[in-house]
Amino acid sequence: MKPDSFLNQASNLSILLLGTQMAIGGAQRVLLDQARWFHERGHRVRVFFIYDKEGFHRKWQDVSDFPIHDLKAFQKDANIFRNWYWLFKGMFGLWGLIHRERFDVIETFTHDSNILGLPLAWMVGIPVRIATHHGTIDGFPRWRS
């Protein structure tokens, strides 16, 4: 079944939206707008960000009717080894949640959330996996693009 027909026919889907960082930007705006749209139509929506870059978690949660989670999988001032630890811990926590809650759909919104979230979703069997790409970054490594 094509993803668009799946979304049009299904009611009360469980949808996970995954972004990289909580910050002001286009990908974040699209993610939150989509979350709001799906929520208003009766779908169960959960939003996750790999980390809160600019301290928006509480503010965004206060104005949203759906849960927004900070995986805390990156620390701005930590060295590379500590950040590998935080990334592993955050992704393991996300894996546990995905495994327990059985989502119907995952949509990822950035290079890093595509790279991290889609294989995780495939491993736990989320049937519809959507990767999006918002903008380009000069000097970005080809493997991440």
Q: How many CB atoms lie within 10 A of CB 102?
A: 10
132 CB-contact burial (10 Å; exposed 0-12 / middle 13-18 / buried 19+): middle
Greater confidence (137 vs 47) lies with 47
CA 71/CA 118 separation, integer angstroms: 16
Task: Output the pTM of the full model.
Answer: 0.84
Residue 43 sits at φ, ψ, to 5 deg, of: -85, 150
CA 117/CA 90 separation, integer angstroms: 11
C-alpha distances out from residue 121 to 14, 24, 26, 31, 135, Å: 13, 26, 24, 18, 23
Average pLDDT, the chain: 87
Predicted local distance difference test score (pLDDT) of residue 135 = 63
Contacts 24+ apart (CB under 8 A), 138-145: 140/111, 144/111, 144/112, 144/115, 145/111
Bridge partners (DSSP) of residue 68 are 47
pLDDT at 25 exceeding the cut of 90: no
Split at pLDDT 50, 70, 90, the class of 11 is confident
Predicted local distance difference test score (pLDDT) of residue 55 = 92
Domains annotated for the chain, with CATH where assigned, are: 13-144 (3.40.50.80)
Q: How many CB atoms lie within 10 A of CB 22?
A: 22
